[in-house]
Every structure is written in structure tokens, then in C-alpha cells.
Amino acid sequence: IVMAQIDDKTYSLSTELGVGYSRYITTMDYDDLNQNGFSGTVKVMWNPEHLLSIGLETGYQQLYSLDASDYSTEFGNTNISASMYTVPVFIVFAMKVLPNIKLTAGTGAYLLFNSGEAFGDDLSSNQLSIGAHVGASYTYPINNSMAIGGELLYSYFSKLQDQTVAIQFLFVYDFFRY
């Protein structure tokens, strides 16, 4: 008996939503520096029948916050508050290494947003930094179009020469198949 080969050429567009915790790794040395923050990502991925996918990513990641009272400077003592968060705008590649495990790598721009207060004056600045991230994710399918899981993500910011490590809960939804 000769059987015909099944020609399964499935392409899909999916959305990946990640929310979790990030840790900012820096050489800044302040006693009141909070290096813990929220991490959130949104990816839209094109998944051909091959193991390699490509897409776009954005999100939000709090890098640090600082609240110091009676901080001594060359201009006198002051109360200081400062914070920085970033919004990535990336192109992302993903490779399935096992049915439920993917490795990801992305590069692009980080929009850096700084705000704070010192000597009674509000401070703010915005910067652009190139950067990259790599990650690994595990997802468990709920049905043919949804999966849940987790992701570990390492990010590098070239302008700051600092990095973050994030762990996120991941929700994946295939919204278009052809």
C-alpha cells in the first residue's frame, strides 16, 4: 500500500503577552536604589512551518527607582527621587528547539525615560539606546490556538552598559492561521 504524504504547510500569526518581574544589574552604588521592577512584553510573531519565527516586540520594563532623604551633594543636602523605565522596539527571532521550548533573540532600540526630583525641581530626560536581548521560553498548549508558560529574558542596554534579567508569565494566542 502506498500512502500520499500529508502536506501540512501551516503558517500562523501569534501574539505573545508576557508579564513579570525584572532585576536591573548595574554598577550604580546607592543604598536606597531599588533595582526590582515590573516587566511586560508584547510580541507579534509570524510562524511559518519551519522552526524559525520572526516578529516585532515592544513592552515596558522598570529599570530602577531611587528615593534618598538628606542626600549630600556639592551644592548642599537635598531629598532625591529618580526612576528610569524603558520601552523596547525590537525585531525578534525565535527558534523552536523542542516542541514546547523556544529560544529567542532580538535587537533594536530602547526608548529610555528618566524622571525625578532634586532641590525641589522636577527633572526628566529621554534617551535612545540600541540594545539586544536573548531568552528562553516554555509554553504548554491549552488548545489549538492558545498556550501558557514562562519566559526567562536577559537584556543589554548599550548606552547604559547595564542589563536586566526578567522572568515572566507568558500567554500565547494564534490569532490567524493559513
Residue 7 has what pLDDT?
47
Q: How far apart are CA 56 and CA 47, in angstroms?
A: 12
Model confidence at 5: pLDDT above 70:
no
108 sits in the region (left: phi over 0; alpha: psi -120 to 50; else beta) called: left
Q: How far apart are CA 21 and CA 137, in angstroms?
A: 15
The DSSP code for 50 is: S
Q: How far apart are CA 58 and CA 42, in angstroms?
A: 5
Chain-centroid distance of CA 175 in Å reads 21
Mean pLDDT of 119-126: 91
Cell numbers at residue 119, please? Answer: 532641590
Q: How many CA atoms lie within 13 A of 143 on its CB side?
A: 4
Residue 8 has what pLDDT?
53
> Cell numbers 526630583 correspond to what residue?
117
**Which residues contact residue 117 at a Cβ distance below 8 angstroms, ignoring those fewer than 6 apart?**
79, 80, 81, 82, 123
Instruction: State the Cα angle at 92 between 37 and 63, rounded to 5°.
Output: 15
Instruction: Tell me the β-bridge partners of 95.
Output: 52, 103
What is the per-residue pLDDT across 7-46, written as a single tens digit (0 to 9) for each? 455 788 999 999 999 999 998 888 889 999 999 999 999 9
Residue 105 has what pLDDT?
98
Cα dist from 172 to 13, 19, 117, 131, whole Å:
10, 12, 39, 24
Model confidence at 145: pLDDT above 70:
yes
Mean pLDDT of 166-176: 95
DSSP string, 138-161: EEEESSSSEEEEEEEEEEEETTTT
Q: How many CA atoms lie within 13 A of 136 on its CB side?
A: 4
What is the per-residue pLDDT across 69-87, written as a single tens digit (0 to 9) for each? 888 888 888 888 999 999 9
Write down the pTM of the prediction.
0.86
